[in-house]
Every structure is written in C-alpha cells, then in structure tokens.
Amino acid sequence: MSLRIYLFFKFYDKGGYCIDYGVGMSRILVTGGAGFLGSHLCERLLEVGHEVCCTDNFYTGTRRNISHLLSNPYFDLIRHDVQLPLHLEIDEIYNLACPASPIHYQLNPIQTLKTNINGAINMLGLAKCNKAKIVQASSSEVYGDPEVHPQPESYWGKVNPACIRSCYIEGKRCAETLFFSYYHQHGLQIKIARIFNTYGPRMHPNDGRVISNFIVQALKGDDITIYGVGEQTRSFCYVDDLIEGLIGLMGTPAGITGPVNLGSPCEISIGQLAERILALTGSSSKLVYLPLPQDDPQQRQPEISRARALLNWQPKVMLNNGLRKTINYFEHLLSKGGDGNV
C-alpha cells in the first residue's frame, strides 16, 4: 500500500467538479484503462494525486489514449487480459475491461462473456487479497429492452438470454451477481455503477457507436446511417460527468454497494441526434435509413434519483456543449489522418 499525501479540505476544480482529498491518496488499478472511459478515468485520478496502474489487452483501447500519461511517474501501464489472474498491491480497483460497442462485443461473444465473468472473478479475487474497494462498470444493458421507463435500479429488466446482445447483457448481469456474492460471502467493499450511453473525446472513430459514427460521417461528408426510422431513443452523458460519478461512487462509505445508475436523464431520438450533429458540424451529409439491428432497445433513460441522493451527482454538461467538444476532437483526429489505429 502506498500513501503519498494527506490533506483535509474539499477542493473544486475549474469545471466545478468536487475533489475530496480527505481520504488520502491511493494506489488504484483501472482495468480497460486504455479505452475511452478508462483513459479519462486514469487521467482524472492522476490529476487529483493518486497513483494509477492501467491494465489493458488493447482489444478496443489504444496506446494513443494514454500516451500523454506515460511520462507521469505515478502512472504504470501493464499489458494484461482480465481473463487471467493478476497480482498487485492495490487500494482500489475500477473494473472497466470489456468492449462497449455492440459491433465489437458481438465479434467474439465467447470472449465477451469470459471477459465479463472471468474478469470479474479475477478482479474480485485481487480485491479480496488486498482488502481493496472495487467499482464495477456495469451497464444500462442489464435492463435489456425495458418495459419500465425511465429505468430505476429497482427494475429487473426485460432480457432475452439468447439474442446477439446477450453475451454482453448476461455477462454484465453475471458480473453483478458475482460482485454481490463476494459482498455477501466475503464482506468485500463492492460498488456497482450502471452506466448509460456516454460519449466524448477518445471514442474510437471506427467503434460503431452512434455518436462517433454520426460525427465522423458528418465531418467526412459521408451519409449519416440511421438504423430503423430513427425513433429509438437514448440519453447521452458527457464523459467528464460520468467520470465524476464513478469517482464519487468509489468514495461512498462501506456498505453502499449500489447498483447506481449513472447517465443523463435527457432523452433524444436517434433521428433528432442526427439532425443535431448535422447542424453543429455544418455538414451537408445525407440521412440514409438502414435496417434496425436485431434486438436494438427502443428506449433508454436512467432514473438518477439514487445517484443524486447518494453522490450528490447529476450531469452538468449540456448535450450541445459535449457534442461540440467531441466534434473538435474528431476534427483534429481526422485532420491528422487518424483512423484510430495505432
């Protein structure tokens, strides 16, 4: 265990995010740390003075996402697959390793299941050895194609165990069960975040998620690919807000396990999102309508009163502002000829 510094004040950074130094600095493992969310989490944890160990197998993550952190003496990078055990001295674990984009998690469904299930077992084992706190990046997908709207944590979901999304959905559900089993059986300090659609800089330009797809298509002047008629809805949270929620959840007292929904309650249809991105980019790309993927959920919006009460958390970044920052990122990436491959 390594502790570098203790302070006992509350600080707010220029984005208005609260940083509570009162608990001391920790050595923190972020699995999937070279991915979209993981890289932002590593960066933020270093900013507030923690030591960070990032592990990744680079399935969907890239070295470019964390290259700016490599010179930081408090940052370590280990190439590691969570399907295998890991031995480290650690105070806290954020278990993010898992492809999040439907295209990528469906490419190798067995690996997606093993990443979620064996990964959870290995990271829970590591937490048990170290008596470490552990946050699991679960997903709104555990609600399946929901019949209750918006979705509170008390809703059990409507899930088909034999559809093309179920490797991810059932993997995330089983991981939650494993976390709760370790909590009940071994008293582990577990915390479950159910993350809803999150977007921002460092999404992979080819990962197939809707915001990265639409922005890249708009910037290149390609057709904007709306699946179905565009009436399905999602609620999009900007990455900085989500990271603040994850760190806030880790900071909750022992016994607070969640699950806690983290996401934006502002719902928008996919058709409206396309129009919004066209307006913000000034693009003249055409809208084209393609078949809706199998088992694509019709609506999704988090009920976030639990996050408000427990973490004093709610998203701060408005969709247009977050989209502008994301558009700037992709403009810069494309201007350098970046296709996202390392």
Q: Which positions lie near ligand UDP, rule CB under 6 A?
A: 102, 197, 209-210, 213, 225-227, 232, 234, 270, 293, 296
Nearer to ligand UDP by Cβ, of 122 and 235: the residue is 235
Mask 87-126, x = binds ligand NAD (CB under 6 A)?
Answer: ---------xxxxx--------------x---x-------
Smallest CA-to-CA distance from 69 within 38, 31, 100 is with: 38
CA distance 121 to 30: 15
Is 247 one of the binding residues for ligand NAD (CB under 6 A)? Answer: no
Catalytic pick among 168, 182, 183, 238: 168
Options 17, 36, 94, 179; binder of ligand NAD; rule CB under 6 A: 36
Instruction: Compute how many other C-beta atoms are within 10 angstroms of the C-beta atom of residue 14.
Output: 5
Nearer to ligand UDP by Cβ, of 27 and 209: the residue is 209
DSSP state of 222: P
Residue type, 16: G
Is 59 one of the binding residues for ligand NAD (CB under 6 A)? Answer: yes
Mask 198-217, x = binds ligand NAD (CB under 6 A)?
Answer: x-------------------
Instruction: Compute how many other C-beta atoms are within 10 angstroms of the C-beta atom of residue 89.
Output: 13
Instruction: Compute how many other C-beta atoms are within 10 angstroms of the C-beta atom of residue 75.
Output: 20
CA distance 103 to 69: 28
Nearer to ligand NAD by Cβ, of 232 and 285: the residue is 232
Q: Bridge partners of 55?
A: 31, 78
Instruction: Compute how many other C-beta atoms are within 10 angstroms of the C-beta atom of residue 323.
Output: 24
Nearest distance from C-beta of residue 196 to ligand UDP, angstroms: 8
DSSP state of 316: -
Nearest distance from C-beta of residue 144 to ligand UDP, angstroms: 12
Q: Which does 83 bind (CB under 5 to 8 A by kind): ligand UDP, ligand NAD, none?
A: ligand NAD
Nearest distance from C-beta of residue 258 to ligand UDP, angstroms: 20
CA distance 342 to 340: 6
Residue type, 334: L
Place of tokens 């998690």: 105
Q: How far is CA 208 from CA 66, 302, 305, 313, in A?
A: 21, 22, 30, 29
Nearest distance from C-beta of residue 337 to ligand UDP, angstroms: 22
Is 139 one of the binding residues for ligand NAD (CB under 6 A)? Answer: yes
Nearer to ligand UDP by Cβ, of 129 and 290: the residue is 290
Q: Which does 198 bind (CB under 5 to 8 A by kind): ligand UDP, ligand NAD, none?
A: ligand NAD
Is 56 one of the binding residues for ligand NAD (CB under 6 A)? Answer: yes
Task: Kindly provide the residue ranges of all beta strands, DSSP E only, lying in 129-254, ordered along the sequence.
Answer: 133-139, 190-195, 198-199, 224-227, 233-235, 237-238
Nearer to ligand UDP by Cβ, of 256 and 292: the residue is 292
Angle at 309 between CA 304 and CA 314, to 5 degrees: 50
Nearest distance from C-beta of residue 8 to ligand NAD, angstroms: 32
Nearest distance from C-beta of residue 47 to ligand NAD, angstroms: 18
Active site residue 168: yes
Q: Which does 34 bind (CB under 5 to 8 A by kind): ligand UDP, ligand NAD, none?
A: ligand NAD
**Strand pairing of 233-235 and 267-269?**
antiparallel
CA distance 184 to 249: 19
Active site residues: 168
Q: Which residues bind ligand NAD (CB under 6 A)?
A: 31-32, 34-38, 56-61, 81-83, 96-100, 115, 119, 137, 139, 195, 197-198
